[in-house]
Amino acid sequence: MRFNSTGVVAGALYLALGFVWVLAASPTWLWQLPLAWFVAVALVGAFIPGVANQVSFARAYLAGPAFGYALAGWFGPLAVTVAVAGLTDFVDGTVARRLAQPTSFGGGLDPVLDGLFMGALCLGLAAGGALPLWLALVVIARYLLPALGGGLLIVLGRRPELRHTLTGQVSTVLILVLVGGICLLRGLHQPSGALLTGAEVVIPVATVATFAHLAWASRRAVMPAAAG
């Protein structure tokens, strides 16, 4: 891969927006963390082609502030961060279809970015005491294990189909709504215990359903290797 104009322009725009974001919303001691993260992500993003992929890449930028706000207990800005991330997850597919640019690369990149953002968010919440560590690990496993499985199939010479599954999309929405709802309630100084209890039940069930569906959907890529 090489630098492309879309990635460079998007990176410059994201860096400018990130600088404004940090000045407006971050506590002073968190300035260096988001800025360093934004620069690192911009360097990687400069190699990512496509407008829709750059919309998706916003979640990579937002992972830094999400972790920092969650760790510091700044639930108001954190709820806004989760809402913006959810919006990009909805918009990127629409942009790809409108520009007739849906690709296998984009289909594989999207869940990786979901996992990066949700992993940073949930680890920050767990470290800050707002979320059980085991639940944060379930969320990380929800995205990490499919990515590792897909990577292993590619290494073995198989070609898994990189596309969204219904259970995967539903589980991502549920995680965003439940975890984002907890952040919002904490930011409004309202009780979040009932929603947290619901998340402790719904997220593991949705994760298991996603794994089962992915295993079924990938059986054609796995079976030839096993037969050989």
CATH of 51-227, one of 1.20.120.1760, 1.10.287.10, 1.20.1580.10, 1.10.1040.50: 1.20.120.1760
Matching residue, tokens 């998007």: 10
Distance, in Å, from the CA atom of 211 to the CA atom of 217, rounded to the nearest integer, reads 10
Q: Answer whether residue 227 shows pLDDT above 50.
A: no
Matching residue, tokens 């680890």: 123
pLDDT tens figures, 64-83: 889 988 988 889 889 989 99
pLDDT tens figures, 1-35: 567 788 888 889 988 888 787 777 655 555 566 77
Please state the rounded mean pLDDT for residues 211-218: 78
pLDDT at residue 35 in the model = 78
pLDDT at residue 225 in the model = 47
CB distance 128 to 72 below 8 Å = yes
pLDDT at residue 99 in the model = 67
Please state the rounded mean pLDDT for residues 85-95: 81
pLDDT tens figures, 98-153: 765 666 666 678 888 888 999 999 999 999 999 999 999 999 999 888 777 666 55
Distance, in Å, from the CA atom of 213 to the CA atom of 209, rounded to the nearest integer, reads 6
pLDDT tens figures, 175-188: 999 999 999 999 89
> What is the distance, to the nearest Å, from the Cα of residue 99 to the centroid of all Cα atoms in its chain?
23
Domain boundaries along the sequence of the chain: 51-227
pLDDT at residue 178 in the model = 93
With a CB cutoff of 8 Å and minimum separation 6, the contacts of 125 are: 70, 131, 136, 179, 182, 183
